[in-house]
Structure 1
Amino acid sequence: MALSTQDKLAPVLSGRRLVIVSNRLPFSVSVDNGRLSFQASAGGLVTGLASFRESLDQGAALPPEHLWVGWPGNSVDPPLRESVIEQALSRFQSYPVFLSEEQMEQFYQGFCNSTIWPLFHYFTSYTVYQQPFWQTYKQINELFAEALDAILKPDDVVWVHDYHLMLLPRLLRALQRRLSIGFFLHIPFPSFEVFRLLPGQWRREILEGLLGADLIGFHTYEYTHHFLQSVLRILGCEHHMGQVLTTDHVVKVDTFPMGIDVGRFASAAANADTESERRNLEEALSGVRLILSVDRLDYSKGISNRLEGYELFLETNPEFQGKVALLMVVVPSRIGVMQYDLMKRQIEELVGKINGRFGRVGWTPVIYQYRHVPFESLAALYAVSDVCLVTPLRDGMNLIAKEYLATRGDGTGVLILSEMAGAAK
C-alpha cells in the first residue's frame, strides 16, 4: 500500500519545524483607511500547499509548528509592517517578505513571467531576455535568503517552491549549511535544447541554485529527466540513480506528482450549497449535454484553440447543434498585463463569433463566465457536466482533471485530457 504524504514526512520531520517558502503567501494583505485586511489567495500553488498544510494540522504524527514564508500580495508601507508580521504569525503561521511595487514589476512580471514562464512552457517566441530582469530576480532571491536567515532554526526543514525562487536553495546553503532543504517545481522543466536558450551565466546559476537543495522534486519523470540532462550538459555533473554529487553534498532528484484532497471533492456532493447549485444548473441547462472547461487565463492553457476546436465540431457535426453546450469558465489572472488583456478580448470575440454563428432562441452554444469560482460552485460544475475538457498546450500538472474525476465518484462523466498536461503522464 502506498504511503501517504504524512507517513513519508513523519520520520523526516520528527518534531522539526517545517518552513514552506513560496513567492506568495496563502493570503493577500491590503490597507483601507489605515486598517489592514486579509483575503485568501488564489492559484494552483497556493491551493495545493494550503491543502497540504491542512493535512499537517490533522496529522498527529506531524509537528504542529510550521511556518509559511512569502510575499503578502501587496506592497506595505514601513510603519505598518510590524503589524502585518504580528497578524500573519498569529493568524496564519506565516511570515511576510516585503517587496516594493517596482521590485515586483521587475521580478514577477519581468523575469518570472516574461522569461521563465514562457520558456519553460515552450513558448520560446514569447520569451523576453533582459539583464535588468535577471538582476532583479537575483536580488529578490537574495532578499528572501536574508529574511529566512533571520528566522530559521538550525534543525528546520525548509521546503522551497517554484520557479520564482530557483536561486534560493544555494543561497540558503551558503548561510546555514546544516539546513535540510527541499525544492519543488510546479511547472514543466523544459528539454535541454530549450533550457539552453537562456544566456550561459543565467542557466548555470539557476542549475547551481537548485542544486543547493538536498531534494529536488518534479511532477513527472520527463521533467526530472530534462533537469538531469541539463545538469550533465551544462555543469558536467553526472547522476547515479537520480543522485547528483556536488562539491559539498549529495542531491536527490525525484518525481512527485502533485495530488488533490480526494476526500474533499468526493464528499462535495453531500454539501447543501453544492447540491442546491447543482439543481439550479440542471434546471437552467436541461436538454443539453454539458461540456465543462475551467482554466486560469493564460496562453499555455490553449483556451482559444479549444474554442476553435468546438466551433469545428459544431460545423462538422450539425446533428449536435442544440444538443450540447460548452460551459467555459475563465479565472482572472494577471489583470492589467497587456498580453493577458488582449488574450481575454480574443477569447470573448471567439465566444461571440460562435454564439452568433450557431446560436438560436433557446440554445446558446458557449456559456462564458469570467470569474473566480468558489469550491462549492466548482464542485457543482463538476457534478453536472457530462464532459470535462482539459486541453492545455502545455501544463505542469493540471489539477482540474483530478478534481473532476474525484467528484464523479459514481463513475459517470468523460474526461478529455491533453497529452501535454502533466496529469496525463
Structure 2
Amino acid sequence: MNARLLIVSNRLPVTVRVEGGRPTVRRSVGGLTTGLRGPHERSGGLWIGWPGSLDGLDPDARSDVDRQLAELRTVPIQLSAQEVAVFYERISNGVLWPICHDRIDRLPLRVEGWDVYESVNQRFADSVAEQYRSGDLVWVHDYQLLRVPALLRERIPDARIGFFLHIPFPNPEIFFTLPTRHSLIEGVMGADLVGFQTRRYLGHFRAALRRLFSLEADAEGFVPWRGRRVRLGAFPIGVDAADFARRAATRKVSAKVLEYRPPGQRLLVGIDRLDYTKGIPRRLLAVERLLTAHPEWRERVRLIQVAVPSRDRVGAYRRIRRDVDTLVGRINGAFATPTWTPIHYMYRSVPSDVLLALYRAADVMLVTPLRDGMNLVAKEFPASRVDEGGVLVLSEFAGAAEELGEAVLVNPYDVDGTAEAIHRALTMDSAQRQQHMRALRATVLKYDVHHWTSTILDLLAAGA
C-alpha cells in the first residue's frame, strides 16, 4: 500500500498525563493500535480523533500537548464537556451500545441528543476533509462515527473510504427500534468498503438494507448505492499473536505463573471490562452451580475474576458493579473456608505481565459474554499458551466463536449448562487439551491483527 492512510476513530491511540508538572503524551496499547501502527507509520499517515479531556491544562501545557500529538502524526478533535456527555455517553454508549448488544431493556424511555451526535460526526468529517490529499485512503472506525462516511462523501465525492464496525450489528428487528435507522445506514453506506466482525453481523446489515432500501448484495458482496458500488464483507479482527507468545514466554511471566498456581488447586480465570454485556453475573452463578453440583471441586478450584472499571459515570455500569459485588460476597460467604476462597475478585486493570501470567496459569479460561463483537481475550489466551495447555470455555454469542470452534462452546444464558461445561473442561485429559489448544493457536497465529489490517487495506486500495 503506497497511499497515505487517514485513520479516524472516536479516541486517539494516546494517553495524556501530567507528570513532573508537564503533560506527556504516550501511545496506548491495544489490538487496534497495534494493528494500525505499521500502516500509519509506513504511509506517513494521520490518526484523527479525540485525545480525551484536556480541561485544566493552561495554554502553555495545551501547546505542549499539541506539539507532542503532531509528532505522533495525530490530529486532535476537541470535544466540550456537553458534547462528551451527549454524543459519547448518552447516544453512543447509552443507546447505540445496548442496541447493538441486543439490550433494548437498557434504553432510556426517551432519547434526546441525536442532533449532537450528528454535529460531532460532522466535525470529524470536517477534520478529515481539512487533512485530505488526493489519493489518500480513509478508514473510519466504529459505532460512534456511523455518520462520518456519508458526511465525508458529501465533502470529498471521490475519496476512498472504508468503515469497520467493531461491535455487533444487531438483528434488524432490534435495530429498527432506532428512530434514526435510515440515516445511520445511509451514513455507513457512504463508504466504499464496509467491514463487520462476523458473517452473522454482515447478514444482519444486509437484511437491514433489504428491509429499509430494497437493496441486495451480489455474489461478491457489492451493493449498488446512489451511483456507486459499496462492498460489504466479514473481516474478523485478530491479535498480535506472535508478540503475545514472545512476552508470555519471558522469565518474569513464568515466575508469576508459579505464584498463581498453588499445589493441589485448579484455576479458572475471567478477564473483562466491567460491562453488562460480558456475562459476569451469570458466570459467577455458574461457578456457584459447579460447587453445588460437583462438591468435589470445593477447596480444589478457584476463580480469579478481573473486572476492569469502565464507564462508571453511566448508571447501568454502576448497577452492574453493585450486582457483581453482591454476588461475589454471597458466593464467598457460602463456600469459603479458613484456607480457601472460591472467587478472587479484582476490580481494577492489571499490568501486562500479570495478564499474561494469568493466561498461562489458567486451567480454564472463561470468556462468556452475552453478546460480543469479537472478544480479543478469547484470542489472547491461546496466543499466550506457549505450553499448549489450558482450555477455553467460550460463549457462542462472542464473535470469536465463528473462528474458534475448538473451544468448549456454551450458551452463557444457561447457567447449569455452563457449570457442566466448566466441569468437562476441568476433567479433560491432557492429550485432548493439547489437541484443542494447538488448533486454537494455529488459528490465532495465522489470522492475526496484521492479516486483518492488510486484508482490508489491500481491498480498499484496490477499489474494494
TM-score, with length taken from structure 2:
0.82
User: Take 2:128 and 2:114, find their aligned partners in 1: how far apart are those partners?
Assistant: 21
Q: 1:229 aligns with which of 207, 210, 221?
A: 207
User: Take 2:64 and 2:140, find their aligned partners in 1: how far apart are those partners?
Assistant: 25
**Alignment partner, residue 7 of structure 1:** none
Aligned-pair identity in percent equals 42
User: Take 1:132 and 1:148, find their aligned partners in 2: how far apart are those partners?
Assistant: 27
Q: 1:248 aligns with which of 216, 227, 236?
A: 227
- SS of the residue 1:154 aligns to: coil
How much has 1:158 moved relative to structure 2? 0.6
Contact residue 388 and residue 404 of structure 1 kept, 8 A: yes
2:39 matched to 1:56? yes
Q: How does 1:106-185 map to 2 (within 5 A)?
A: 106-128=86-108, 130=110, 132-185=112-165
How much has 1:142 moved relative to structure 2? 0.5
2:15 matched to 1:28? yes
Q: Residue by residue, what CA displacement relative to the aligned partner does 1:375-407 show, whole Å, maximum 9, x if unpaired? A: 221111011110001110011101111111111
In structure 1, give the amino acid aligned to 2:239: I
- SS of the residue 2:277 aligns to: helix
Structure 1 stretch displaced more, 240-249 or 297-306: 240-249
**Alignment partner, residue 368 of structure 1:** 345
Contact residue 111 and residue 133 of structure 1 kept, 8 A: yes
Q: 2:75 aligns with which of 61, 71, 95?
A: 95
Q: Residue by residue, what CA displacement relative to the aligned partner does 1:95-130 show, whole Å, maximum 9, x if unpaired? A: 111001110000111100111000110001112364
- SS of the residue 2:42 aligns to: coil
**Alignment partner, residue 300 of structure 1:** 277
In structure 1, give the amino acid aligned to 2:69: A
User: Take 1:319 and 1:94, find their aligned partners in 2: how far apart are those partners?
Assistant: 56
- Segments of structure 1 that go 5 or more residues without pairing to the other structure are 1-12
How much has 1:410 moved relative to structure 2? 3.1
How much has 1:146 moved relative to structure 2? 1.2
Return closer, same or farther for 1:166/1:417 CA change in 2, 3 Å cut-off: same
**Alignment partner, residue 18 of structure 1:** 5
Residue-pair matches, total: 399
Q: 2:46 aligns with which of 59, 62, 67?
A: 67
Q: Residue by residue, what CA displacement relative to the aligned partner does 1:167-216 show, whole Å, maximum 9, x if unpaired? A: 000011111122110000000001111111111xx111000100000000
Return closer, same or farther for 1:109/1:143 CA change in 2, 3 Å cut-off: same
User: Take 2:54 and 2:127, find their aligned partners in 1: how far apart are those partners?
Assistant: 16
> What's the Cα RMSD here?
1.9
User: Take 1:189 and 1:110, find their aligned partners in 2: how far apart are those partners?
Assistant: 19
How much has 1:27 moved relative to structure 2? 1.4
How much has 1:342 moved relative to structure 2? 2.0
User: Take 1:75 and 1:234, find their aligned partners in 2: how far apart are those partners?
Assistant: 41
How much has 1:155 moved relative to structure 2? 1.2
**Alignment partner, residue 270 of structure 1:** 249
How much has 1:82 moved relative to structure 2? 4.4
How much has 1:31 moved relative to structure 2? 5.4
User: Take 1:306 and 1:111, find their aligned partners in 2: how far apart are those partners?
Assistant: 29
Give 4+ residue runs of structure 1 displaced > 6 Å after superposition: none
- Segments of structure 2 that go 5 or more residues without pairing to the other structure are 403-464
